[in-house]
């Protein structure tokens, strides 16, 4: 190679190596940034309910509390794989709280104010408080009048303040043989045509159950409470 060629090669080498180092460094930096900042894959694809009429038992646990649940009660296909979970979503049909079936599939698709479907969620719960404690420590702090007033269907009714996180809701409190029942019910409004009622209760150590149903079924609150309690107990294996 001539002296001029050698000199040209050295000049090219002088900027090629730093350029290559820059490109590799930039690529690695981009990969690291993507790893830390990009949302997980599950955030791009939200799982949709996928009911099944199969009734084979699914063994799972929430915070080590064991359940054996027929597949037709479980809303999402991923949960039917069983195993340890942070939460499991279920659904059942009034009046007998039966699981999904092809025969009643239309009811499970019904989103109207008269829908007979009860949605249940078994989940981990760090608060670990019962309904009586939640009523005293939390709910009473946000109602208009702590004395309440006689409500429908043997319930005591409280209105949440508009400056609280529960604005637009009423609290209905009832008593059963098993204790207090707290029901937060969304008020009917121009924005909410199909209001629901929600109950949140302790199920086990740091495990909670909440269920919701259409407010139009509030008259059945006792039957629903008794039925849900019986249903959940049927999912919990008896100690041998």
Q: What digits encode the pLDDT tens for the residues 108-163? A: 999 999 999 999 999 999 888 999 999 999 999 999 999 999 999 999 999 999 99
pLDDT tens track for 68-97: 999 999 999 999 999 999 999 999 999 999
How far is the C-alpha of 190 from the C-alpha of 176, rounded, in Å?
Answer: 33
pTM, full prediction = 0.79
């Amino acid at each position: 190679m001539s002296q001029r060629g050698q000199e040209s090669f050295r000049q090219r080498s002088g900027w090629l190596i730093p350029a290559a180092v820059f490109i590799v460094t930039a690529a690695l930096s981009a990969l690291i940034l993507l790893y830390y900042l990009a949302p997980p894959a599950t955030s791009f694809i939200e799982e949709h309910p996928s009911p099944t009429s199969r009734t084979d038992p699914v063994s799972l646990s929430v915070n080590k509390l064991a359940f054996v649940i027929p597949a037709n009660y479980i809303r999402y296909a991923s949960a039917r794989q069983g195993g340890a979970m942070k939460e499991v979503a279920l659904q059942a049909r009034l009046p007998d709280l039966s699981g999904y079936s092809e025969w009643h599939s239309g009811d499970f698709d019904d989103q109207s104010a008269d829908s007979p479907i009860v949605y249940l969620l078994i989940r981990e719960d760090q608060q670990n408080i019962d309904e009586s404690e939640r009523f005293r420590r939390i709910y009473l702090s946000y109602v208009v009048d702590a004395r309440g007033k006689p409500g429908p269907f043997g319930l005591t009714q409280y209105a949440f303040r508009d400056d609280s996180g529960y604005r637009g809701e009423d609290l209905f409190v009832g008593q059963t043989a098993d204790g207090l029942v707290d029901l937060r019910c969304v008020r009917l409004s121009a924005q909410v045509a199909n209001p629901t009622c929600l109950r949140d209760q302790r199920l086990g150590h740091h495990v909670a159950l909440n269920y919701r149903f259409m407010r139009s079924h509030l008259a059945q609150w006792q039957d629903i409470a008794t039925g849900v309690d019986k249903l959940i107990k049927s999912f919990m294996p008896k100690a041998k």
